[in-house]
Amino acid sequence: MSQNNTHQLKGSEIIFLSKKPESHPKIIEYLKTHGHTLQIKQALEDPGNSDVILIEANFSYFSIFKFLKRLQSAQSTTCILLMGENELKTGRISALLRAGVFDYLKHPYPLKRLGKAIRKGLKNRENLLNILSLSEHLEAANQSLSKERDQLRTWNNDLSELYALNQKLSESLHIDEIVKTSISNISKVIKHDISCLYLKKWKQVRIATSHPQSSDLIKKVKEETLQDGLEFIKDEKSVSQALVRHGGSEIMVHLAVGMRKIGLLRLVRLPDSSPQHGQGEPSLSDNKASTPFSEYQAKILSMTAIPLAIAIRNAEMYKQVEDLAVKDALTNVLNRRAFSGILDREFRRASRYNSPLSLMVIDLDHFKKVNDTYGHLVGDTVLRELAAELNASLRDVDVLIRYGGEEFVVILPGTHLQAGLVVANRIKTRVEKTLFDQKNIPIKMTVSIGVAHYPSPQIDSPEALFNQADQALYTAKKNGRNRIMILKSLKTSEWPALAFEKQSMA
Residues marked as catalytic: 406
Question: Distances from the Cα of 481 to the Cαs of 108, 442, 445, 446, in angstroms?
Answer: 139, 20, 11, 8
Residues forming beta bridges with residue 199, ordered by sequence position = 204, 263
* Alpha carbon distance 162, 300 (integer Å): 8
3-state class of 82 per DSSP? strand
Which three-class secondary structure string do you get for 263-329? EEEEEECCCCCCHHHCCCCCCHHHCCCCCCCCHHHHHHHHHHHHHHHHHHHHHHHHHHHHHHHHECC
* Residues 6 or more apart in contact with residue 364 via CB below 8 angstroms: 382, 383, 386, 406, 407, 445, 446, 447
* Alpha carbon distance 394, 466 (integer Å): 19
Which three-class secondary structure string do you get for 186-213? HHHHCCCCEEEEEECCCCEEEEEECCCC
3-state class of 162 per DSSP? helix
| Helix or strand holding residue 91 (H, E) | helix 90-98
* Alpha carbon distance 28, 33 (integer Å): 9
| Helix or strand holding residue 95 (H, E) | helix 90-98
Q: Is 119 exposed, middle or buried (0-12, 13-18, 19+ CB in 10 A)?
A: middle
Q: Are 220 and 284 in contact (CB under 8 A)?
A: yes
Burial 474-502 (b: 16+ CB within 10 A, else e): bbbbeeeebbbbbbeeeeeebbebeebbe
